[in-house]
Structure 1
């Protein structure tokens, strides 16, 4: 029984660490400026950067951070479900 308690505690710690690591990576990725890109049908003004309305460009670090955060949150939800489920 002591081993199961250690495994459960370790799984909670790992899931929390994965969630926290992903969140930190996502924040760092969102804080990093995105290099300019664009498409145009005419020669744009050189001093002006235009993004289409409603668009959001994410860096690869932000995308990976968001994905890792989602994986960590899914692991925490799974562990919470196992903890709160009635035993048979």
Structure 2
């Protein structure tokens, strides 16, 4: 394997690892922070809906930090899977 390809592979592994760790940390931060849902005012007004408003039953609210964390974590996992596939394919050719 030439040095430029090897260097690119190492950079890919580092970027994937950083994305995994950063995503995991953001997920933990997002889970630790409480999500507040407005249960009064304009958000409770549903003029055209046939459902009654019940505070707290709107479903699961996810903080934006948690969503970014999950996105980064998935990007890191895809990178690791891609690089693992390249490594396994290179071994089979040799």
TM-score normalized by the length of structure 1: 0.76
Give the SS at the match of 2:57: coil
Q: CA RMSD in A?
A: 2.3
- What is residue 47 of structure 1 aligned with on the other side? none
Give the superposition deviation at 1:64.
Answer: 0.8
Segments of structure 2 that go 5 or more residues without pairing to the other structure are 46-51
Write the distance in 2 (CA, Å) between the matches of 1:80 and 1:37: 45
- What is residue 51 of structure 1 aligned with on the other side? 56
1:26 aligns with 2:30: no
Write the distance in 1 (CA, Å) between the matches of 2:20 and 2:76: 4
**Alignment length (residue pairs):** 81
- What is residue 83 of structure 1 aligned with on the other side? 87
Give the superposition deviation at 1:30.
Answer: 1.4
Segments of structure 1 that go 5 or more residues without pairing to the other structure are 45-49
TM-score normalized by the length of structure 2: 0.72
